[in-house]
Structure formats: structure tokens, C-alpha cells
Structure 1
Amino acid sequence: MSYQALYRVWRPQSFHDVVGQEHVTKTLQNALIQDKISHAYLFSGPRGTGKTSAAKILAKAVNCERAPVEEPCNECPSCRGITDGSISDVIEIDAASNNGVDEIRDIRDKVKYAPSSVKFKVYIIDEVHMLSIGAFNALLKTLEEPPQHVIFILATTEPHKIPLTILSRCQRFDFKRITARDITGRMKHIVQETGVECDEEALAVVARAAEGGMRDALSLLDQAISFSEDRVTLEDALTVTGAVSQLFLLQLAEAIGQHDVVSGLESLEELLFQGKDPVRFIEDMILFYRDMLLYKSAPNLEESLERVTPDGKFQELAKETSPEDIYQLIHLLSKTQQEMRFTNHPKIFLEVAIVKLCQQESAQVRVSQTPSDYSQLQNRITQLENEIRDLKQHGVVRVEESQQHVQKKTSRTSRKGFTAPAGKINEILKHATKQDLMVIKGRWAEMMEKMTVSQAALLKDAEPVAASNEAFVIKFKYEIHCQMAMEKMDEFAMVIGNLIGKRMQVVGAPEEQWLKIRESFLNSHSREGHEEADSAEVAGAAEEPIIAEAKKLFGAELIEVKD
């Protein structure tokens, strides 16, 4: 391929080109000048921050023909050979695909041989945390005491997965995320050298979208250049990165400040119609209000703003919005962002959040609604206190309290006894069938799961014993549980109705009363005239095949089935 991506063409070839990692490059340069090169290094940090590039630059610097130098010359045969990969003494290994013990043993066997064309043999092991435990163990001794001509450089994005025995044998350098300003500066240099016309605002959007990774930033810039025609504009960068323009954020913030729900939802609909990601949008909104809060707190620190440019419209909106309102807005947006991570419909949560933001009252309105005339409020409080004092003196309050006490006592005593509705139960038994009871029993466990903890506790020792097409009976082991559950029977009926698709009447009865009602019903209805009622009794007893066989042997009149 004749064309190469920007991040490959502009890969750093010297420590000076490594952006945002001065704490690492300065230390390595001093070690090169003083000839204090360690035998093992560990470069850790987020992706795209220069770990592998720094490792190759270090390999060139130690093998440069002009060494000791703080920067490789990139002109001698050694530097050029390492750059183009023609020198076999600098070995770059991907531990993600070579993570076994055999690969590490191969390194251990070959490490004893002297380099063929340069001074040091350098092993660069990328994503070293992917090595297996056996591979780490095979590397331990070699890493601790390698030959004088060998240098190991380990690179990883997850240093916490590396055994401590490996970490203790290496000099560790932690690469940090690159700031948006440093990324923008590097991209400015690249577009100037390549002759591409690009708006500074577009570079800022790309830098923020990269989230601290230079490789990600150059990939997005490469994509934006391909997307644009003659010049990379702000709209091109917003389209490629999926970010939202500041003008749109200002429009939505104005709708929120004016409590205009219609304008807020119309703006959101336009945003989603353009294909913007709701999760990315709500993050932009949080950063927008964060920048507004920082601007109100410290207007001179414009460099700390990440999402906005403090133009006239933004400054005017910031003056109209109080810090208390910003706190509330950020809190609601952050809560919505967390909820959107665990749903398949983030658009709904975003729309609800916009409606809430537009409808909530501002801090100024809440303050204005409080009584301004403090003396008038104090007089009213004094008047009410006097009225209460007079009522107490005349004994009215005591009489009311005694009445309430009597009512509470009466309600407690009336709760001691409970009588099952025999008429309703007999009516259910007349039309009860085994099929209806099986339907209720089949959904019983599922209904228990949908109940609250307190509701399920009441039904723990209960079970359905008879059912018709429109109602069913629940038998309770304890009378008090039956009485408490009957107060919530409408809730139980609603749950079971949602499960089976129709509304059912629920009747409860303690076990002793149920047995008496059932026995009375069976005695008052003959088996010939009321086969359905008898089948309901059999259904309530959950007739088994062994019961049917017993009836054949001894006769149904001699068989009594008990639960």
C-alpha cells in the first residue's frame, strides 16, 4: 500500500517527539548520558501514549554509533536498521499471541548469544500482562540476571496483572494520558508539515474525543481529512467524532433555563436524527455544565475548560445560571448517565432527563417563593400556638386523644378473630375444577417471586386448594397470617391476574375453618348431583394415580382423602 496512516508516518523517532511524557523521557535521557542503562524496564500506561515508541527510541539510543547520546541520531546504519526493522537484534514480541511457556523458553535459549550487528540485543515485549503464569516463571531468572548485552523492555496497559516478582526486577515508568492541549499542538505540527488545511476548533474537538491517546487522535484526524473536501472544518470533526457542537449545547441549555420542554425535546430529536450517540451526548452535557461552573468560579482559568469556548453567548448564559442550579443539573445528568449504562433504551432515559431538567424550579424561584415578611410569619405562628394552648385548657385535645386511643384499642381487639367467608367459598367450590386449580398452582411460584418480601412472607405457609374460572381459595396455616393477607388480597389478585391474563377473586381461609367448610360442603351435596363439586374436592386434594387405584380396589365410598 502506498498510503500509510498518520499515526504510522508520524510515529515518534526521538524522545523529543514523544508528547506529554516529559517525566519519562527526561529520566531516560539522563540515564543514557550517564551510561546508567538498566537491564529491564517496564513501561505502563493507557493505550496510544507512546510506550512502544519510547521502547524503540531507547533501543536506537543505546545502539547508536554516536553513543552515549540523549537522542538517537537516526542517521547511522544502526538507527536506520532499527527504524525499518532490518536489524534482527531488536526483537519486538506481541505477548498477546505469544504467551506460552515455549515462546519464553525460546527467548531464554537465544538470549545467551551475542548480538550480530549492534551493541545490545533488545527484547521489546508488548502487552506483557497477557503472558501465562508459566511463561512469567520461565522469564523470572533470565529477567533478573540477563547477559551484559541484553536489555528487556516490557510494555503493558494493565500493570496490576503482572506478578510482583516481575515488577521488582524492572525499572517502572508510568505513562499518563496526554492532555488535549498537547495533542492539539502535535496535530497542528502534523497538518502544517503535510499541508492540510484544518480549523483549530476542529483539532480541539478531535483532541477531546481521543481521551488522552495520541494514536486515537491521529486516527480520528486521518478520518476527518478523508471525510472533508478541501478543509477540515468544525462540522467535519463533530461528524467524525460523534460529538455535539457548542451551539447545540447552548440552545438546549437555554431551553432548560427557560423551562421550555417543547424546545428541549425538539432539539434532542434533531440531535438523535443526526445519528448522535445518546451516551456521548449526555457526557458532553455534563462537561458543558462543568465548564460553566469552573468559568463562574474562576473566569481567568480558560485553559481548564475542556468542552466549551467562552464566547459571548456562553458568558451570558453562565451569568444567568446560579451555581446551585448547576449542581442540581450535573447531579441529575450523572444519575441519568449511570442508568443509561444498564438499559437497552438509552434514548428514553435521555428524554426523561431533558423533561425533568426543563421542569425543575431554579434556586432563585425557590427562594422567591419563601415568605419575605418574617414578622408576619412569626405572628401567625404565635397565633396558632395560642389557639393550641386554649384547646388544651378546655380539654378538647384530651378528649380527642382519648377517643383516638379507644379507636386504636378497638381496632387491635377486633383483629384477634377472623371468620372465613363460607358463602364465597361454597360458591367457588360449586364451580371448581381441577384444571383451574392446576393453572393457579402452576403460576404460584412465579407469583411469589413478583411479591414484595413482606407479601411473600404472609404466603410462605399458604397454598391454593380450590379454584374456579373466576376465583380461587387460599388455605393459610395460621389465622393471623390469613387476616393480614386478606387486607392485601387485591394486590395478590392483581399479580396473579397479570400472570394468567384475567382478573381473579381471591378468598382466604385458615386451615381449620377450611377443613370444616369443605366437609360441610361435601356432606350437603351428594356425589351424583354435584360431580363438579366433588371433582373440586378431589382437585383440592391433588388426586394421585395411587388414589385412583385404591378406589378401584376398595370402592370410592370407603376412601377418604386427607391433605
Structure 2
Amino acid sequence: MEHFVVSARKYRPQSFKDVVGQQAITNTLLNAIEHDHLAQALLFTGPRGVGKTTCARILAKKINQDDNQDPNEDFAFNIFELDAASNNSVDDIRNLIDQVRIPPQVGTYKVYIIDEVHMLSQAAFNAFLKTLEEPPRHAIFILATTEKHKIIPTILSRCQIFDFKRITVKDAKDYLGYIAEQEGVAAEDDALHIIAQKADGAMRDALSIYDRVVSFSGKELTRQAVTENLNVLDYDTYITTTDLILENDIPQLLVQYNEILSHGFDGHHFIAGLASHFRDLLVCQNPKTINLLEVGENTKALYFKQAQKAPAQFLLKGIELANECDLKYKSSRNQRLLVELCLMQLASLTFSGEKKNDSSFIIPASHFTQPPVPTPAYKLTPKEKEVISKNEYSQGDSAPPKEAQLPTPAEGTCDPQNPVNEESQNDLQSSPANEPAELDQQQEVQVSGSASAEEEQVTPPAETEKPERKVSGLSLKSIQKKKELEAQKREAKEEEVIEKNTEFTEEEMREAWKEYTQEQNEKGEKILASILQTDIPVLKGKDICMELPNDTMKLELERVQYYLMGFLKEKLQNTHLQLKITVNEKAEKKFAFTPIEKFEKLKEKNPLLEKLRSTFDLDV
């Protein structure tokens, strides 16, 4: 059995022109070698698998080659590779420094490649500083790391830094195609593209995935084989899902998501891929951005076709919903329901609502509500007025029939069941039937035939009676009625107030003011009580004047002015009192809030406090 060599080692670049995706760095190094501008300390930094160590080895071999030497010479005696992860102590660096002093036996330079240099300890870094800054002429140091931020700044300042970038999907796919051609593997363009995407910018990862997939599928590398082996969702899944979303087919959409989960795919991976698919469709809609779509030519045609059916507004909202679901996925307790809800929302974005707005499906409102029966304003006939005014009793009766006595509404209220106009109400009020002396004599009422006849004339027809309608206490109408009733009661109360003009002193007014403040404090109105204590009220004639430091306090006091003045008028027996509030911004300086301001106030009253503070060196 022949020994198998992985592609990452077998096809490792042997010259700068073979390095994939790092043309800027390789050109810089070549020009530096040609013009003898190469620094003696280089730092190669970048993600994994992008060619840092490979470029370091190519550079070490390149600077030792002469025109007459064999191009395949590797100069193994001149290249020293040190793994800083396992040689990170001061002693290891001391041994390295001792070796640097010895010149090379073959070639011009001795190259020291220190991989994962960020693993060196702080003491090892400091021990390496002097040699790195002033190395011998024959020594060149190449440091390689994936985490540049962990290297101390003094090391970075002594190195020429080269930042390696991630390899693009196109470059990785082209190199995979070259290797497949060399190996005699028939690979589909979409299959190589999926491998390049899965590698996430690392060429070594792409080659490892390629070896695994070739071992699975053999000499025929298809897109289906790649998706099955890598367990990835290909573009067909997302194109089908987007078609179902655009068709508003929620049931089939949920069935397809269930099939995706049954194949072992993660819902988080699915929803993140759906957001990326929407992004790719949005990119396809503009010729300026179509180059941002990193897919094969066949796939690009399918994307372009679906992009024509998807409105840009839908795609933007779809990306927003999918991204929101992506962010909430890990913290959700029911992750499947979260994704299904997102899919249903996406399928509802383009729903036109024609079925919902179709008149054939709408039941008219008249089907549920019956129009109210019109109740005409009931007016007493002359005969009814005569019955009430004369109070015609039946023979042997001591009181009028109950049906003949129309109830008089209470003051300020109205009976909606028996609407009566003003004229009839006045007649009822002037009727002798309402006199207290006669009401006291009413006992049992025996209705005779003549009374029944009068009852038929007085009582309105049963058909016109309006059924009682109850109003909710939380309805807007009930709140409005309640406010109107309170206003009527207040007006009536103000009309009933008897004018009082009792004389009182300013001291009595302040005592009443203090009593109201204490009452508010006991009720829990701490803010109002503090506002009332802000200034001492002054009596000027019948006006109670108060000065406040800001408008906020004034508005708060005006809010309760009605209740405050009612209390004072009642307490002082004077209805001519008025409250005058003024705002004086300078008045705010009268109040001490901080400890220093309080100390200053006390010092004004007793200057000896300052002497006490300075004597004992006290702090305020």
C-alpha cells in the first residue's frame, strides 16, 4: 500500500508564484530580495492556513540561492524552525541567542522561523529584545503568529509586519480545481465552490475538506456528494424555501422545515443561511453589486431568476426578521417554535389579503346589531293633564291610581325610560298630587274600571317602550357623564355657598395653612407638603401671597389650589380669599441643599463656627 500524503503537504507552494491569494505580500518580499531591502526581523500575522509558514520557508530558501545552485536545494542546515508553544521559556531563548552567533556553513543567511510566537512568556520576550533589535548580519528572524495583539509592543516595533488576508472563495476554488485536475478527479464547479465556502478563507482547511470528500465520492466529485458529506444546506434548499415564502404556503413551509430538522441540520444554521440567501438575492437585483455574489455561474443564474420575483422591500424585511431570529435563538426556550414563527411571519409579508377583504366573506355589521327603536318624546294630552290636575279618584278611593302618577325626576337627573318635556314637568310639579299632606294620606290603591280607563289613556303604548340599556362603567360615555355630573354638583355647591366676610389675622391664616400642610403630610403627599413649607405665606388684604423658586412648584400648587382655598375659606370663615403665587428664580439661593451650603448658612448666624473648623482642621 502506497503511503498517502495529504494535499496540504503534497501541494505546498515551493515558490512565491505558487502562493494563493497573497500577491501583495509575495511581490513585496520579491522586490525586497532583488533590491537588497530585506529587514532582519519580519512578523507574519494572519488567520490559520493562509500561507504564513509557507512564505517564511520560501523566503529562507530564496535568500540563500545563487544562480549556480540547484533550485531544489532546501538549505536545511541554514533554516531553523522553533515552536514557541513548547519552547517558551527564557532558557530556550538563551539557547537560540547562542546559536545565532555561529555563521552559516553553506549559503549566506541563517533563518530562524519562530512559529506561534505569541506563546512566549513575558520574560522570554524581554530576553529576546536585544538580539532582535541588533542581530548579526547573517541572521534573519521570521516570527509567525495568528494573534498579533498578544505580542508586546516592544517586539512589534522591532519587526517589519506583514498582514496575511483570508483567501477569497474564488481563489480557493480555482486552486482546488487545479489540484483536482492534477489528481484526475472530475469535480463540479458548484462542489468546489461549496468546499471553498466551508473553508472560511483558510487554504489548508479547504485542502483537508477536499481530501475527505474525494475519499467519500471517488473520482466523481458532485455537489450532492459534497453536501451529504459536509452536512451543509445547499442553495436548492433555500431557493425552495424562498419560493414557498413568496407563495404564502405556510403549511408546506413548516413541513419542509421539519424535513430539514429530521436530516440532522440545526435550526440556527438554517435561519442564518436563510438570511444570507436573502442578502444574495438582494445583491442580484443591482448590476453594481452582482459581483458581490460568490457563487458558481450555474447557481448565479438561479439566484438571478428568483431575485426577479422577490421585491426589494420583502428582502429587506426578510433579512431583518431572520437576523432577529438568529440573535434570539440561543436564549430561546423553544427554539423550534421561534424559527417556525419567523417562517410564518416571512410568509405573511407578501400576503395581499384579497381573500380577507373579499366582500363575499364579510358579514355586514347590521347582522349583529339591531337598529334602536325610535322612542318619540312623550307629551301629555290635555285629558291626561286634566286627570293629574284634578286628581280624579275612583269612587271609594282615597288616593290616585299609581299609573296616573307620573314620577317626577330628581333634581339634576333625567329618567331615560320616561322622557318628559319641560312643559309637562312643570305641570307635574304644580300638581296638587305632589303635596306632602295628600301623600301622607295615600295607603292602598284599589283600581276600578273607570281608573283602568284613565290608565289606558295615560300609559304610553307598550310597543314604544325602549328596553333598558346598561352602560359599562369603563366606557368613554360613562366617564364623560360622570365628569358632567361632578361639574353640575360643583356648580350647585358654589351657588349654595353663602358669602362670609369674617375678619381674621395673618397669624390665624398661617395657623390654618400649617394645619392643611400637616394634613397633607399625614395623607402621604410629601411633595405637596414640602412645597407648602417652601415659603411663609403673607397676607395682603384678602390675597394670600406666596413666592416659589421655580415654575414646577407653582404648577404643582395650582393643581390643588381649589382644595387648598376651600379649606382656608372654611377655616377662616371668609369667601373672599384669593391665592397669589409668584416665581422668583433668585429665591432658590435662599435654600441650602448641600452640606457646604448648610455650613455657610450656619456660619452666617454664628461666625465662630469657622474658627472651630479651622482650629480642629475639620472637613465639611
Asked if Structure 1 and Structure 2 have the same fold, meaning a TM-score greater than 0.5 normalized by the shorter chain, the answer is: yes
1:334/1:148 CA distance change after superposition, 3 Å:
same
The residue that corresponds to 1:362 in the other structure is 350
Q: Cα deviation per residue 1:386-406 (whole Å; 9 max; x = unaligned)? A: xxxxxxxxxxx9996583499
Aligned-partner SS, 2:112: strand
Worse overlay, 192-201 or 20-29: 192-201
Question: Post-superposition shift, 1:136?
Answer: 0.9
Question: In 2, distance between residues paired with 1:346 and 1:92?
Answer: 49
The residue that corresponds to 1:303 in the other structure is 291
Which of the two has greater helix per residue?
1
Aligned-partner SS, 2:136: coil
Q: Tell me the TM-score normalised to structure 1 length.
A: 0.61
The residue that corresponds to 1:351 in the other structure is 340
- The answer to whether the 8 Å contact 2:196/2:206 transfers is yes
The residue that corresponds to 2:585 in the other structure is none
The residue that corresponds to 1:9 in the other structure is 10
Q: Cα deviation per residue 1:264-285 (whole Å; 9 max; x = unaligned)? A: 1221222222222333333321
Q: Cα deviation per residue 1:309-353 (whole Å; 9 max; x = unaligned)? A: 556654343222111111111111112222234568754543332
Matches within 5 A, 1:379-394: none
1:345/1:239 CA distance change after superposition, 3 Å:
farther
- The answer to whether the 8 Å contact 2:285/2:307 transfers is yes
- The answer to whether the 8 Å contact 1:5/1:219 transfers is yes
The residue that corresponds to 1:462 in the other structure is none
Question: In 2, distance between residues paired with 1:262 and 1:342?
Answer: 26
Letter in 2 for 1:303: N
The residue that corresponds to 2:268 in the other structure is 279
- The answer to whether the 8 Å contact 2:132/2:158 transfers is yes
Aligned-partner SS, 2:144: strand
Letter in 2 for 1:362: T
- The answer to whether the 8 Å contact 2:248/2:351 transfers is no
The residue that corresponds to 1:207 in the other structure is 196
1:110/1:314 CA distance change after superposition, 3 Å:
closer
Question: In 2, distance between residues paired with 1:95 and 1:283?
Answer: 38
- The answer to whether the 8 Å contact 1:242/1:280 transfers is no
Aligned-partner SS, 2:162: strand
Q: Percent identity?
A: 37
Question: In 1, distance between residues paired with 2:105 and 2:353?
Answer: 79
Question: In 1, distance between residues paired with 2:255 and 2:289?
Answer: 34
Letter in 2 for 1:154: L
- The answer to whether the 8 Å contact 1:324/1:363 transfers is no
Question: In 1, distance between residues paired with 2:482 and 2:18?
Answer: 87
1:149/1:199 CA distance change after superposition, 3 Å:
same
1:479/1:240 CA distance change after superposition, 3 Å:
farther
Q: Select the residue among 132, 136, 142 that pairs with 1:147.
A: 136
Q: Tell me the TM-score normalised to structure 2 length.
A: 0.55
1:152/1:343 CA distance change after superposition, 3 Å:
farther
- The answer to whether the 8 Å contact 1:243/1:284 transfers is no
Question: In 2, distance between residues paired with 1:294 and 1:12?
Answer: 35
- The answer to whether the 8 Å contact 1:43/1:153 transfers is yes
Letter in 2 for 1:55: A
1:231/1:134 CA distance change after superposition, 3 Å:
same
Gaps of 5+ in 2: 358-475, 488-521, 525-620
Question: Post-superposition shift, 1:50?
Answer: 0.7
Question: In 2, distance between residues paired with 1:66 and 1:135?
Answer: 39
Aligned-partner SS, 1:42: strand
Question: Post-superposition shift, 1:98?
Answer: 1.9
Aligned-partner SS, 2:44: strand
1:313/1:120 CA distance change after superposition, 3 Å:
closer
1:141/1:344 CA distance change after superposition, 3 Å:
farther
Letter in 1 for 2:482: Q
1:403/1:283 CA distance change after superposition, 3 Å:
same
Question: Post-superposition shift, 1:171?
Answer: 0.7
Q: Cα deviation per residue 1:73-117 (whole Å; 9 max; x = unaligned)? A: 8x44xx5334xxxx2331112222222222112112221111233
Letter in 1 for 2:264: G
Aligned-partner SS, 1:80: coil
- Would you say 1:294 and 2:283 are equivalent positions? yes
- The answer to whether the 8 Å contact 1:39/1:151 transfers is yes
- The answer to whether the 8 Å contact 1:242/1:277 transfers is no
Question: In 2, distance between residues paired with 1:30 and 1:336?
Answer: 50
Question: In 2, distance between residues paired with 1:33 and 1:267?
Answer: 61
Aligned length in residues: 371
1:129/1:20 CA distance change after superposition, 3 Å:
same
Letter in 2 for 1:14: S
- Would you say 1:181 and 2:170 are equivalent positions? yes
Aligned-partner SS, 1:297: coil
Question: In 2, distance between residues paired with 1:223 and 1:405?
Answer: 84
Aligned-partner SS, 2:88: coil
The residue that corresponds to 1:21 in the other structure is 22
Letter in 2 for 1:178: I
Aligned-partner SS, 2:165: coil
The residue that corresponds to 2:74 in the other structure is 81
Letter in 2 for 1:315: F
Q: Cα deviation per residue 1:239-281 (whole Å; 9 max; x = unaligned)? A: 2333212221111111111222221122122222222233333
Question: In 1, distance between residues paired with 2:114 and 2:309?
Answer: 55
Question: In 1, distance between residues paired with 2:486 and 2:7?
Answer: 84
Q: Select the residue among 230, 239, 242 that pairs with 1:250.
A: 239
The residue that corresponds to 1:490 in the other structure is none
- The answer to whether the 8 Å contact 1:294/1:305 transfers is yes
- The answer to whether the 8 Å contact 2:53/2:115 transfers is yes
The residue that corresponds to 1:240 in the other structure is 229
Letter in 1 for 2:74: G
- The answer to whether the 8 Å contact 1:284/1:307 transfers is no
Question: In 1, distance between residues paired with 2:100 and 2:177?
Answer: 43
1:261/1:113 CA distance change after superposition, 3 Å:
same
- The answer to whether the 8 Å contact 2:45/2:145 transfers is yes
Question: In 2, distance between residues paired with 1:24 and 1:363?
Answer: 53
Matches within 5 A, 1:56-67: 56-66=57-67
Aligned-partner SS, 1:124: strand
- The answer to whether the 8 Å contact 1:287/1:307 transfers is no
Greater RCO (Cα-Cα under 8 Å, separation 6 or more): 1
- The answer to whether the 8 Å contact 1:220/1:240 transfers is no
Letter in 1 for 2:257: L
Matches within 5 A, 1:521-536: none
- The answer to whether the 8 Å contact 1:322/1:363 transfers is no
Aligned-partner SS, 1:271: helix
Aligned-partner SS, 1:275: coil
The residue that corresponds to 2:417 in the other structure is none
- The answer to whether the 8 Å contact 1:124/1:154 transfers is yes
Gaps of 5+ in 1: 68-72, 370-396, 409-477, 481-563
Greater CA radius of gyration, 1 or 2?
2
Question: Post-superposition shift, 1:234?
Answer: 0.2
The residue that corresponds to 1:537 in the other structure is none
Question: Post-superposition shift, 1:301?
Answer: 5.2
Letter in 2 for 1:49: V
Question: In 1, distance between residues paired with 2:54 and 2:269?
Answer: 30
Aligned-partner SS, 2:106: coil
Question: In 2, distance between residues paired with 1:322 and 1:295?
Answer: 12
Q: Select the residue among 403, 411, 415 that pairs with 2:482.
A: 403
Matches within 5 A, 1:499-510: none
- The answer to whether the 8 Å contact 1:243/1:281 transfers is no
Question: Post-superposition shift, 1:307?
Answer: 4.9
Question: In 2, distance between residues paired with 1:46 and 1:56?
Answer: 18
- The answer to whether the 8 Å contact 1:291/1:307 transfers is no
The residue that corresponds to 2:39 in the other structure is 38
